[in-house]
Structure 1
């Protein structure tokens, strides 16, 4: 019998860790290849980790709510036959360190664990309360004392303090009274903490007996954290422009039934708008960038993020990869597939990775315009307002007249650190021009 190490798979270029949310298999259970063993959650999406082999689960190395790094072994599966495609069962940390030259990846994990232990010696498990290495490291980096940590409410299993609990506490720490248990000799350790000192004091919210207390969801907390972080990172500026989409409205009405019969897909306005945005990004490549320190990274691929609403009211942004390479049929199929899987919570980690520019349709909820927050590390986001039937001036060769037109506002938020007003305005104007120049005789 051989043993296979099930590792946390790579889930995208910006995802380095995940939280275990539930184990679907227990020790002793038989597992088939491609069968889900556990469920995980990242800061962007929930997913399952399948087994790569047939066998029996003999060891679980992490508990629910533990944070696991990409590449770490999370379980051991016993398989029949030889050792092809398998690895030895987990060894002691000292053994892993000794095998640095033989198994670099495993040795690197060992070094990380050892380093974590060395940096968290000041924080210990208190009574029945267990603190993960990640929580201990966060406490040390933020200057949180043992007394403070013991007082943080935990939302994890059996009241365990999770990463999200720590983030929530750190955000509101400026308004929290310091525990009396902090001794004077600990003061020098707390002095270097600048984040807490620089944040304004927030008055506590008092709930009356008639108010309902609703706990934020895990995803809700993460979205809130990312939105605040984005506003603090980028200098947000907005440009607005109105587009006449009468030609598109009438064309879609004419072809949508035939399109559905032929392709089996509903032709919505979204893929049409995405096509126009992809063309504009190709015209203005400096909108398809990211900023890293003082370095600008020009993205080779145009990967459009498509903000989608979930059933619980939260948002997720699946990504249309190489959007400028798709024709309208391909774009429609991709948009519908991602939207459907987003609603059904079936998106995979790779579906939400690698976006270079984002589009959000605020018109879905009746808004005519909005000022969306940039999806980091991108530098721009476009909000599509509701399409309205309005009276407007129509210019013709015979003169101007008042007519009923279908119009919408485009709201462009961009990072003024690297995108000036001229570029931001020219880009959204290009989107408008692509929409207004739509070919009413276009074949589907």
Structure 2
């Protein structure tokens, strides 16, 4: 018989390639229609590829860990009807035996998926080069689990590979290896967190919801990962405020969009990022990734009080009307708890408008894996000394403080300060003759 080809399947609209995790049917082994032949991972999910018909596996064209484009042949097989008949007969003979032993097998396998109970919080990494699939990496990022913590989780896949079920089981058990330390001799000069028996007081107990726990983990992770430095400037927004107040009604009538200050801040930030591209980066080990897109996140409070960061994608390529439309859409969805996964992914720089809550200024924590975050304070009228050709005068001006927290591993004071000053300059030098 002629050999058929098994193709890398399309597993989503935006998926163009997949990673072969594990071949479940070896070369020369027979299978029947519906049997799982191979496990494939994408950046969204792990998939099991079933056999399109009964046959015999002839040759694997790619080894595990290979990244293969969708539609590419990954194996050859010889379709046959005899295999299906033979295997069906075998299943009928051993059906009772398989059913009776399946529960026992599951009981034996289940403990393998559970991490070992750690008594002394010590662990040994079995394989420092352990392969991590895109799906595992995605879940780990969402749960703020480091590579070091992933390496501590026993894997039940081939060659000790970590599977999705292993990771989800680990998370359900409360991440027992979260604070485990390597079983090596401690460095006597290293800083250790003191174990203080603090009096936490008494009162009503309010359990954190899942999102609050994720926020807490994310904030601790960010402070632990990035050495934070915060710079401050103040900006005179008198001209910008006057232009916005004079045009917001016409803007709404002409474009059916509210004109808040947020789109103006997003626009200024996008311009400044183009001027200083090394702000638009993230760290990957010893490498710095300079992002090709400028996606501005805006920290937004949900009705529950939790914080979320919807993202204005490619803000530098959008007009003010387009930015305002996107800001209004995302804000409305946030208020209704209807933001999608795509709405909150991909930010490369974040703005936190603490002025919304009446704060004069703030010192925000970096939204990992970004390199910096901007906080905009309340716009407040103040008496300022203005230098005029005819002499100094005291005038009432619309002033706002801006602060930039940046990761001092990759952003130095000169870059951080210059970038922050550039944002303020764009806001102060706003064109009052601008048409809507």
Q: For the aligned residues, what is the CA RMSD? A: 4.3
What is the aligned partner in structure 1 of residue 193 from structure 2?
200
What is the aligned partner in structure 1 of residue 45 from structure 2?
71
TM-score by length of 1: 0.62
Which residue of the other structure, out of 157, 163, 180, is the alignment partner of 2:171? 163
TM-score by length of 2: 0.63
Answering whether residue 283 of structure 2 is matched by residue 283 of structure 1, we say no
Deviations 1:372-398 (A, max 9, x none): 111111111000111111111122222
User: Following the alignment from structure 1 to structure 2, what is the Cα–Cα distance between the partners of residues 338 and 234?
Assistant: 28
Which residue of the other structure, out of 327, 331, 356, is the alignment partner of 1:335? 327
* Greater radius of gyration (CA): 2
Tell me, yes or no, if the aligned pair for 2:377 and 2:401 is still in contact at 8 Å.
yes
Tell me, yes or no, if the aligned pair for 2:298 and 2:310 is still in contact at 8 Å.
yes
User: Following the alignment from structure 1 to structure 2, what is the Cα–Cα distance between the partners of residues 249 and 286?
Assistant: 30
Answering whether residue 387 of structure 2 is matched by residue 395 of structure 1, we say yes
Structure 1 residue ranges, 4+ long, deviating more than 4 angstroms after superposition: 6-12, 87-91, 95-108, 124-127, 137-144, 169-174, 192-195, 204-208
User: Following the alignment from structure 2 to structure 1, what is the Cα–Cα distance between the partners of residues 364 and 411?
Assistant: 16
Deviation of 1:293 (Å) = 1.6
User: Following the alignment from structure 1 to structure 2, what is the Cα–Cα distance between the partners of residues 98 and 229?
Assistant: 48
Tell me, yes or no, if the aligned pair for 1:356 and 1:378 is still in contact at 8 Å.
yes
Deviation of 1:136 (Å) = 2.8
Change (3 A) 1:361 1:142: farther
Higher RCO structure, 1 or 2 (CA under 8 Å, sep 6+): 1
Change (3 A) 1:367 1:170: farther
Size of the aligned set, in residue pairs, is: 324
What is the aligned partner in structure 1 of residue 216 from structure 2?
224
Change (3 A) 1:297 1:105: closer
User: Following the alignment from structure 1 to structure 2, what is the Cα–Cα distance between the partners of residues 228 and 164?
Assistant: 20
Answering whether residue 262 of structure 2 is matched by residue 270 of structure 1, we say yes
Change (3 A) 1:241 1:418: same
User: Following the alignment from structure 1 to structure 2, what is the Cα–Cα distance between the partners of residues 99 and 202?
Assistant: 58
What is the aligned partner in structure 1 of residue 415 from structure 2?
423
1:345 partner SS = coil
What is the aligned partner in structure 2 of residue 375 from structure 1?
367
User: Following the alignment from structure 2 to structure 1, what is the Cα–Cα distance between the partners of residues 239 and 263?
Assistant: 15
What is the aligned partner in structure 2 of residue 298 from structure 1?
290
User: Following the alignment from structure 1 to structure 2, what is the Cα–Cα distance between the partners of residues 250 and 283?
Assistant: 26
User: Following the alignment from structure 1 to structure 2, what is the Cα–Cα distance between the partners of residues 139 and 11?
Assistant: 41
User: Following the alignment from structure 1 to structure 2, what is the Cα–Cα distance between the partners of residues 398 and 255?
Assistant: 31
Deviation of 1:203 (Å) = 3.7
Change (3 A) 1:299 1:172: closer
Tell me, yes or no, if the aligned pair for 1:372 and 1:382 is still in contact at 8 Å.
yes
2:115 partner SS = helix
**What runs of 5+ residues in structure 2 fail to find an aligned partner?**
1-8, 20-41, 69-104, 125-152, 154-167
